[in-house]
Structures are given as C-alpha cells and as structure tokens.
Amino acid sequence: MFNQVTIIGVGLIGGSLGLALKKKKVVKSVVGYGRRRGALNKAVSIQAIDRYCLTLPKAIKDADLVCLTTPVGTFESLCRIMAPHLKEGAIVTDAGSVKGALVKTLTNLMPEHASFVGGHPIAGREKSGVMAATGTLYKGCRTILTPIPETNRDALKKVKALWEAVGANVFELDPFDHDRILSFVSHLPHVVAYALMEMLTHPRIAPLNPVEYSAGGLRDFTRIAASSPEMWRDIFLANKDAVVEGIDIYQETLEKIKKKILINDGAGLIEIFNRANDIREQAIR
C-alpha cells in the first residue's frame, strides 16, 4: 500500500500502528521519529519500526504517509516544519483525539503537492509508551476520519484503506461533531477519573489513607487516570468548549442524584440507576 510510512512519536499509539502495519505487510518500511533515542531503540527492538531518525526532515524525506501520534498540541508546529520537506503526493494524517478547527489549520499548512487527512482511532490502553504497544490494538476498533471540503478524496481513500488493513472499522464525521461527541464519551470520563484521584488528596480525606482500603471498584473506575498527563492536558485545552460543556452537564447530573439522596427518594434513584444500566448494556455490545 505504501513504500514508507513515517510515524511521528513512537509511543503506545504510534508503536501499535507500526506493529500492525508490519504484521499485515501493507508497508515496506516503517520509520520512526522522536526526541528520545532510548525509546526509539526500544521501538526497533520490538519491531514496531524498522529504523528511526532524530531529525524531522530526514525522517519524512521519502515518506508516502506521515502519521502524527504525538500530543495534539504539537501538530501545528510539526506540520510547519515538515511542509517544505514532504515528497510529491505525500499524505499526512494523525491519530489525535481533537479535530475541530485543527483539521482546517493543518490542511492549509500542506504544500500543494501534499495532503492532510484528519483521523482518530478510538483505541488505547491505560499505559503509555512504546513498550505498551500491541499489534492488535486497532483490531475491531472504530476509527473516525474527519474530512472537510478541501480534503483530497484520493488521499482520504488511502488513509481509510490503511486503517481497514490493520483491522479498524472506519467512519467519517464532521470535525466539530467529532469533538462534541468525544467530549462526552472519552474526554469527560478522563476528567472524572483524574478528578476522583485528585479528590483523594483533599485535606478532609487524605488523612484517612482511603487508597489503602480500595478494591476493584476504584481501580477499575480510575484505570484511565494512568494515561499520559501530557496527552490529556493537550486534549482538554484543545477541546476546551466541548469539555467544559460536558463538565457542566455532568455536574447537573450529580446534583440531580445528590437531591434524590438528600430527600430519601429511593424510587428516583432506582429509576436513574436502571436507566444507567440500560445505557451501559448498549455501550458494551
């Protein structure tokens, strides 16, 4: 499908993509780029990439496809550096969790002979780093592409084919619709997990050492709080309006449950919990 794919940021997401591409034999060579030689050597050792470069222009020089898998806050600066060095017909895509206006910005940064296609594989693990990578991460996962009117249709087809080749189910969404939807089902859960763990440091709670008495409930519910802080900082700030909207609605919902508890409305609580059970069943089908 491609002679060379260059992965910018070979961590969990980029490393898993490299492993999957090599496993499916849809690319001749996978090149990695990053700032830490030690992490890149690890990526080579687990065969997530074939080789690496420590300079960006050299890493993308012969790339047919460049995939950005660094925190979304780095995308614009990376594309500005890459633009003059992209080969004829090169495609740049990403795996970021925020799209919105960023898709138009990155599209406009491309030279006339290259294209940008916004993408987001909805996959991950609670651990970060290339040693957490797995070649099956994208099998059966939903991957969203976010084309705009300026998106090159041929490039869009190629990016779709790449994700399908590694086992993903590919869909298309408007970039702003993507951000609002993801703010509720992905970004907000991370806010809640981080907030709950932060709450345990509160002066009224911390002296009790509650973590020593925690069991599976806390561990399972806050698993995602072990995710990369830098990545989620960039996501929350880049998708600020939608994330804040989600927090506001979540606070309203907490207040509704709080009032039911205060007035001893057991039937009202059962109604809310049954509805939650039904939605949960739909989500895991």
Give per-residue pLDDT as tens, 36-95: 899 999 999 999 999 999 999 999 999 999 999 999 999 999 999 999 999 999 999 999
Amino acid at position 135, single letter: G
* Pairing state between β 51-53 and 91-94: unpaired
Give per-residue pLDDT as tens, 222-251: 888 888 888 899 999 999 999 999 999 999
Identify the structural domains of the chain with CATH numbers, from first to last.
2-174 (3.40.50.720), 177-283 (1.10.3660.10)
Sheet containing strand 65-68, strands side by side? 51-53, 27-33, 2-8, 65-68, 91-94, 115-117
| Contacts of 262 by beta carbon, 8 Å cutoff, 6+ apart | none
pLDDT at 219 over 90: no
Exposed, middle or buried by CB within 10 Å (0-12, 13-18, 19+), for 114?
Answer: buried
Give per-residue pLDDT as tens, 207-217: 999 999 888 88
pLDDT at 284 over 70: no
pLDDT at 198 over 90: yes
- Does the CA dihedral 125-131-136-142 come out positive or negative? positive
Q: Give this prediction's pTM.
A: 0.88
pLDDT at 123: 86
Tell me what the pLDDT averaged over the chain comes to. Answer: 94
Q: CA-based angle 97:224:188, to the nearest 5?
A: 55
